[in-house]
Amino acid sequence: MNVNSMLAPAAVGQKIYLHPKRIKDALANPAATFPITLDVDPTTTCNSRCPKCTFPNTGKMFLDFDLFKRTIKEAAQLGVKAVAFTGGGEPTLHPRFIEMVKTVKENGLEAGLITNGLAFSARMAEETLPMLEWVRFSLDAGSAEMYHKTHGLNEVQFNKLASNITSACKIRKRLGFPIGMGASYLILEANEADFQGAIRIARGTGLNFLQFKPMQLHDLCAIGGFTYDLEVLRSAERMLKEKLTGDYGETFHVYLTRMCPHLMGKGSVEYRESPLCYGQRFTTSLGADGRLYACCHYKYDPRFELGNLNFSTFQQIWTSKQRHSLLFGIQPQKSCLNNCKLEGLNEDLHRLAGLTIEEMEQQLREKAGQNCKDANFI
């Protein structure tokens, strides 16, 4: 059985232990400890029309390329190790996206990409795949009919996505680069019946994995402004664990990420132990507006803005009073969405913070032996 309840290929809570010195520094002096990962929104414009879009009202912004180059150079000097291109919008629509990836590599950083795949042409794949550690495509459907429901697009565009993924996988094989390539499937009531079709497509195009995870639904009454359809997720998890038990071989895997056990009981908001978001000490987000944000879930929300790179350097923002106020002002129990990817990290770091130096050293030594791929992407 290849259905696995762990995050592929390694959970954030595992990866962080490969950075023991950064952990100790972040706990002892968070104001002067710089992040490991920088999430970047090259643009907020998008070529999908997802009805449940997480960022529906951000307009059409494009990150200034000179600001990006300046920021990446400084970030590398300050100790940032990896850049994940994400959205916001669709990263590959930035007219200088390929140059952005080159800039990251020229500064000695690792690069990853989350994309809907529609603009990820064979030419773009040829130029960028040798510079990327991983690519994750947003699939969310196993048929053209379902793709219309989840992405608001038609059969022509669905076939284009499948064609682009197939081309990218063939190029990867020809170039011989060990790039992790997979797809994500956000679970909604509308697409629950399409799981097996999505697995067939993902496997057939040559991807390494398909990752199922809950869709965050806007809900102004919920803590953090998001909620989940628990009934749909219970049904989906049961179906994926009980029915999809085929042997997919060694080169393809199906993963369930942050499903029902994390949404109820100890994983839900009221059971959170950590009074602080320690995760923001290791990762931060650069919006297409040139501003740094403390949290990827709350980009473009002024409450979570750290500072504006149009007027300040990365270092000035990271050591500013505004960031210091958010370091201790973001309280997961009161202001954060349920099921954040950093919840496990927060709980672990909260426990470490309560240990003596000797006890912490022992814990870090015990955990550091767990080797994880893409360890610099927190």
Residue pLDDT, tens place only, 52-88: 888 877 788 999 999 999 999 999 999 999 999 998 8
Burial class (CB in 10 A: 0-12, 13-18, 19+), 57: exposed
* pLDDT attached to residue 11: 65
Q: For residue 154, what pLDDT is reported?
A: 96
The confidence score (pLDDT) of residue 337 equals: 75
pLDDT of residue 245: 57
pLDDT value of residue 217:
73
Question: What residues in the chain have per-residue pLDDT under 70?
Answer: 1-13, 190, 218, 221, 223, 242-249, 258-272, 333, 369-372
- Residue 243's pLDDT is 57
